[in-house]
Amino acid sequence: MAIQAPRGTKDVLPTESYRWQYLEEKMRKAAALAGYREVRTPVFEHTELFARGVGDTTDIVQKEMYTFTDKGNRSITLKPEGTAGAVRSFLESNLYADALPCKMYYLNAPIFRYEAPQSGRLREHHQFGLECFGAQNATVDAELIMLAYHLLDELGVRNLSVRINSIGCPNCRPTYHGALKDYLVSRLDGLCEDCKNRYERNPLRVLDCKKPGCRAQVADAPSMLDYLCEECRAHFEELQACLKAENIPFVVDSRIVRGLDYYTKTVFELVTETAGGNLTVCGGGRYDHLVSQLGGPDLPAVGFGMGIERVLMLLDGEGIQIPKPAQYEVFVTYMKDCHADAFRLVQALRRQGIRADMDHCSRSLKAQFKYANKVGALWAATIGEDEAKAGTVRMKNMQNGEEQTVPQDQAWETIRNMRKEAE
């Protein structure tokens, strides 16, 4: 049998890459408008970065990482999320010595997680992510939530709900941990093995367990919001005030803790609620201690990650058509002896910025037309013996069948004029 792609991976074929490019353009624009500039970091990093950064009590680190030993005996891991690599590069290049805050985004970063593949859950997926380093105010948390919300809204995603929570800081969280453990201790028998372990090491993680049994056990668990210190409470209130001022609909959901250990204060998710179930399309939050934890200065930070495949899935689900560019505006069809003219015309059209091609397979004129139709060319430009002699080309509009004969060196103007009409 021919070799197949590994389970949980997906090709983006030439026939569908325009959908990705469409999103890319919108995402780049949205990021740039708020001053975020692109960062590109390696696909793999030292395993220690994620163990220390993401947290060794998380599912990601405990179960989902693609880790291997390279030929130099180093432990290497394929990026299981985008933030740790961004922080590592921010520190390694001393960007904290430049103007702060430092805003960056990554686009189509491949993310690898060894998960059970299912709809919307891949082993390699891609994220659009933003990170802002060096700003503690809740206005940045709000700007990120708004950016994600407006982007998805403009793309046409419906039934979008913004859920926000605050999970406090090292000052107030320990008290909450205590209260949560008090609540859980009598319910330990009802928790899964993982959660029993989480109870010991990081009880907040129990709230993030997706198993129905565990969800039922935590239904009446105390809320972190009742334990926030003054600073965290004020920060959370400021965030809500910003969102309200901008009419962003949101709900406070004290069950959101997120699957990574580094968060402090704000955490949020953008979820679509449909009859078929909920889908989280974007998740993020503040991580005020990750930079120092990874050996850098004491700098606050906040960011989010958005799953590109999930955005595309939602657009599909809503039946939203993404404009599909024609592969060729002009397909030059020609009689055998006129191939030199055809070749020249194709090059001239391309120099004018017009997408053009010709037959390269010695097909009959009839078969060339068939091909032009099949690939959806907007125009067929035919050069037969008469045209070659006269230096002309017969232009056929493939959509309405209209024909006109024009000098070869003016063919591009015909296309340009039609483009203008279309605009």
Contact residues for ligand ATP, defined by CB under 6 A:
81, 113, 115, 120-122, 125, 127, 259, 280-283, 305, 307, 309-310
CB of 235 to ligand ATP, least distance (A): 21
| Of 250 and 369, CB closest to ligand ATP | 250
The residue sitting closest to ligand ATP, measured at its beta carbon, is 307
CB of 100 to ligand ATP, least distance (A): 25
CB of 127 to ligand ATP, least distance (A): 5
Pairing of strands 301-307, 124-133: antiparallel
Q: Phi first, then psi: what are they for 275, rounded to 5°?
A: -60, -35
| Of 115 and 194, CB closest to ligand ATP | 115
CB of 117 to ligand ATP, least distance (A): 8
Q: Give me 348's structure tokens.
A: 């001239």
| Of 12 and 95, CB closest to ligand ATP | 12
- The C-alpha atoms of residue 277 and residue 209 are separated, in whole angstroms, by 17
| Of 222 and 259, CB closest to ligand ATP | 259
Q: What b/e readout covers 82-92, taking b as 16+ CB neighbours within 10 angstroms? A: bbbbbbbbbbe
- The C-alpha atoms of residue 410 and residue 348 are separated, in whole angstroms, by 10
SS3 124: strand
Containing H/E element for 165?
strand 160-166
Alpha-carbon dihedral sign for residues 307, 68, 208, 81: negative
| Of 282 and 388, CB closest to ligand ATP | 282
- In sequence order, the 6+-apart residues with CB closer than 8 A to the CB of 231 are 169, 171
CB of 305 to ligand ATP, least distance (A): 4
* 8 Å CB contact between 76 and 68: yes
- The C-alpha atoms of residue 273 and residue 258 are separated, in whole angstroms, by 18
State the virtual CA torsion across 104, 110, 116, 120 in degrees, nearest 10: 70
| Of 19 and 125, CB closest to ligand ATP | 125
SS3 346: helix
Q: Scanning the structure block, which residue is given the tokens 């989010």?
A: 304
CB of 111 to ligand ATP, least distance (A): 7
| Of 101 and 117, CB closest to ligand ATP | 117
CB of 256 to ligand ATP, least distance (A): 10
- Amino acid at position 27, single letter: M
Q: 394 - beta bridge partners?
A: 382, 405
CB of 104 to ligand ATP, least distance (A): 17
CB of 1 to ligand ATP, least distance (A): 26
CB of 271 to ligand ATP, least distance (A): 9
* 8 Å CB contact between 37 and 131: no
| Of 140 and 209, CB closest to ligand ATP | 209
- The C-alpha atoms of residue 80 and residue 67 are separated, in whole angstroms, by 10
- The C-alpha atoms of residue 141 and residue 161 are separated, in whole angstroms, by 16
| Of 278 and 410, CB closest to ligand ATP | 278
| Of 47 and 280, CB closest to ligand ATP | 280
Tell me the three-class secondary structure of 218-254, residue by residue.
Answer: CCCCCCHHHHCCHHHHHHHHHHHHHHHHCCCCEEECC
Q: How far is CA 405 from CA 340, 381, 393, 394, in A?
A: 19, 9, 6, 4
Picking from 207, 10, 40, the residue whose alpha carbon sits closest to that of residue 118 is: 10
CB of 395 to ligand ATP, least distance (A): 46
- The C-alpha atoms of residue 136 and residue 148 are separated, in whole angstroms, by 19
